[in-house]
Amino acid sequence: MQQTLTVTDVNAYIQDKLDRDILLSSVAVKGEISNYKLYPSGHHYFTLKDENSALKCVMFKGNAFRLRFKPENGTKVIALGKISVFPRDGAYQLYCTAMAIDGIGDLHAAFEELKKKLSKEGLFDSGHKKQIPEYPGTIGIVTSSAGAAVHDMLRILAKRYPLAKVRLFPVRVQGVEAPGEICAAIKYANMHSLADLLIIGRGGGSIEDLWTFNDENLARTIYNSQIPIISAVGHEPDVTISDFVADLRAATPSNGAELAVPDMQALFQQLDGLQERLNATILRVIRLGRLRLNALSSSSAMQGPTMYIAQRRKSLELLRSRMTAVQSRCLYGNKQRFMSLAAKLDAMSPLKVLTRGYSLTTAQDGTVFHSIKQAKPGESINIRLADGLLSASITDVEEIENESKE
Amino acid sequence: MNQKNKTFEENMDRLEQIVRAMEKGDVALEESLKLFQEGTSLVQSCTKLLDEAELQVTKITAGAEGAPEEVPFDAEI
């Protein structure tokens, strides 16, 4: 006889079987919602169906609050969860932990396709990207005039670089009209040269919300803009086609404002630094100048003319004493010669001869007697001696034979 | 378009040029003093421009005949 089991046993058995199955413990199911009902408890009950089958589903409140859309009958979804048994009903069902609209898959595919296409055309080339001006005079913001994005950007610009002028180009940032409006704003700004830099962007949202910035026409308009463009879309992990084409990508609108301008505080520091460098350099130049001046002024030429003159005077003295010495020597020599010559002359002087006993005999008229022939006895004569004169008269004349004649 | 900003940019450029020239070391004393004075006054004027600046915000729309229309934008910063 077959073993009999209770209903509970059977359901428990089936539950155990399903709970042990790896595939069924985490499964993603694609289907259309039907029989949808939201209970006061906050739990969602519905059926997922396709052409041939149906699967009962439940999503408890704790998981449902994360839903990014409102589930409705007919919505095509992908539901994640676990298949298990609800013993009370003897039914198995999908305990759903997360659910998303099935269109997402298509969006992702479209994004990848467009990205590849435009990349191949060269729209993302870094060589084409323009430099963001260092000190932008006028910044154009292309975004919604309401919402946090514009407020955040203006606040940051005011704080960092109030020297800039800001022009807002208000546009829709989601919906079918949005890409067209943003393109028009970019073209308009270019046509009338209304900015040195454009920031285009919006705050965070779902992939559908941000889809505007994946528009192909917008990508081409960004590429052709003469004015540099910063793309500032969504949150940090959100990446759109605009981000690839733009001249600079910002993670968020706030980041866009930060990248657009220098920071005033940093500029103040930079100015301080420059002033310091000026100060240091001029001090160095002055110090070098002073050193040179000191070196020159301590050279002997510059110790005042006194020193110079004293030196020259010393030289002069030296020369003078040498000259005197030479002079003296010369003079002495000459004196000696002179004196000896004078002495010789003196010895030969006729007056000197007189002292030796010779005398000079003259007639009255002063004629000197050389010979006896000039004399007549009885003539008055003068005899000159060394120290005086004798008056005499000749008594007798006598000739003497002389061997030596003058 | 924005004269204050243009002046600021030109001043910063000239200032950096002066500092580079002076630091190069081949400038005579008298010229250095002149450059120092010019540089210092540029630092002061840049600082003043930043201190006194207030962010101007306007909204642009295409007016009649396509010409830009500009009005002040109050965004409760």
Q: Give the model confidence (pLDDT) of A114-125 as tens digits.
A: 999 999 999 999
- Looking at residue A191, its pLDDT comes to 95
Nearest residue to B5 via CA among A195, A168, A169, A186: A195
Contacts of residues A45-51 at CB distance under 8 Å and 24 or more positions apart, as own/partner, are: A46/A71, A48/A77, A48/A79, A48/A94
Does A255 score more than 80 pLDDT? Answer: yes
Mean pLDDT of A204-211: 88
What residues of chain B lie within 8 A of the CB of A264, using their CB? 50
pLDDT: which is higher, A186 or A313: A186
User: Is B68's Cβ below 8 Å from some Cβ in A?
Assistant: yes
Does B76 score more than 60 pLDDT? Answer: no
- Looking at residue A104, its pLDDT comes to 62
Could you tell me which chain A residue has the CA closest to the CA of B60? Answer: A169
What residues contact residue A346 under an 8 Å CB cut-off, 6+ apart?
A: A352
Does A335 score more than 90 pLDDT? Answer: no
- Looking at residue A105, its pLDDT comes to 63
Across the interface, whether the CB atoms of B36 and A281 are under 8 A apart is answered yes
Q: Are A123 and A220 in contact (CB under 8 A)?
A: yes
Candidates A138, A163, A275; nearest CB to B53: A163
A246: amino acid identity, one letter = A
- Looking at residue A29, its pLDDT comes to 94
What residues of chain A lie within 8 A of the CB of B40, using their CB? 275, 278
Tell me the shortest Cα–Cα distance from A103 to chain B, in angstroms.
Answer: 36
Across the interface, whether the CB atoms of B5 and A165 are under 8 A apart is answered yes
Predicted confidence band of residue A241 (pLDDT cuts 50, 70, 90): very high
Mean pLDDT of A141-163: 95
Mean of all residue pLDDT scores within chain B: 90
Nearest residue to A142 via CA among A182, A197, A193: A182
Tens digit of each residue's pLDDT (9 = 90 or more) over A360-375: 888 888 888 888 888 8
* DSSP letters spanning A31-45: EEEEEEEE-TTS-EE
Note whether ipTM > 0.95 here.
no
Across the interface, whether the CB atoms of B47 and A271 are under 8 A apart is answered yes
Mean pLDDT of B57-77: 83
User: Is B41's Cβ below 8 Å from some Cβ in A?
Assistant: no
Does A167 score more than 60 pLDDT? Answer: yes
Candidates A151, A268, A281; nearest CB to B22: A281
Across the interface, whether the CB atoms of B55 and A282 are under 8 A apart is answered no
CA distance B13 to A194: 24
- Looking at residue A11, its pLDDT comes to 93
Does A404 score more than 70 pLDDT? Answer: no
Please give the helix or strand (H or E) that residue A388 lies within, else none.
Answer: strand A388-393
Candidates B23, B29, B56; nearest CB to A166: B56
- Looking at residue A116, its pLDDT comes to 93
Burial class (CB in 10 A: 0-12, 13-18, 19+), B68: middle
- How much of chain A is in helix, strand and coil states, percent to nearest 5? 45, 20, 30
Mean pLDDT of A309-324: 89
User: Is B16's Cβ below 8 Å from some Cβ in A?
Assistant: yes
Predicted confidence band of residue B77 (pLDDT cuts 50, 70, 90): very low
CA distance A196 to A226: 9
pTM to 2 decimal places: 0.60
Candidates A150, A157, A169; nearest CB to B55: A157
Half-sphere exposure of A293 (CA within 13 A, CB side): 7
Of the listed ranges A138-147, A395-404, B52-61, the least confidently predicted one is A395-404
Across the interface, whether the CB atoms of B18 and A278 are under 8 A apart is answered yes
Q: How far apart are the first and last CA of chain B?
A: 23
Across the interface, whether the CB atoms of A281 and B32 are under 8 A apart is answered yes
Tens digit of each residue's pLDDT (9 = 90 or more) over A266-309: 999 999 999 999 999 999 999 988 988 888 877 766 667 777 78
- Looking at residue B54, its pLDDT comes to 93
- Looking at residue A302, its pLDDT comes to 66
Size of interface A-B (CB pairs under 8 A): 118
User: Is B2's Cβ below 8 Å from some Cβ in A?
Assistant: yes
What residues of chain B lie within 8 A of the CB of A157, using their CB? 55
Does A262 score more than 50 pLDDT? Answer: yes
Across the interface, whether the CB atoms of B2 and A167 are under 8 A apart is answered no
What residues of chain A lie within 8 A of the CB of B53, using their CB? 161-163
Strand, helix or coil for residue A93:
strand
Helices (H), A146-197: 148-160, 178-191
Helices (H), B1-77: 3-24, 29-52
Tell me the shortest Cα–Cα distance from A157 to chain B, in angstroms.
Answer: 8
- Looking at residue A101, its pLDDT comes to 83
Nearest residue to A195 via CA among A139, A127, A130: A139
Question: Which tokens sit at B59?
Answer: 């909204």
- Of all residues in chain A, the percent with pLDDT exceeding 70 is 97
Could you tell me which chain A residue has the CA closest to the CA of B41? Answer: A275
Candidates A157, A167, A264; nearest CB to B50: A264
CA distance A134 to A157: 14
Nearest residue to B23 via CA among A273, A267, A291, A268: A273
Q: Are A394 and A377 in contact (CB under 8 A)?
A: yes
Across the interface, whether the CB atoms of A151 and B46 are under 8 A apart is answered no
Does A406 score more than 70 pLDDT? Answer: no
Q: Are B68 and B60 in contact (CB under 8 A)?
A: yes
Mean of all residue pLDDT scores within chain A: 91
Across the interface, whether the CB atoms of A165 and B75 are under 8 A apart is answered no
Sheet holding A248-250, edge to edge: A248-250, A229-233, A197-202, A138-143, A165-170, B56-62, B68-72
User: Is B40's Cβ below 8 Å from some Cβ in A?
Assistant: yes
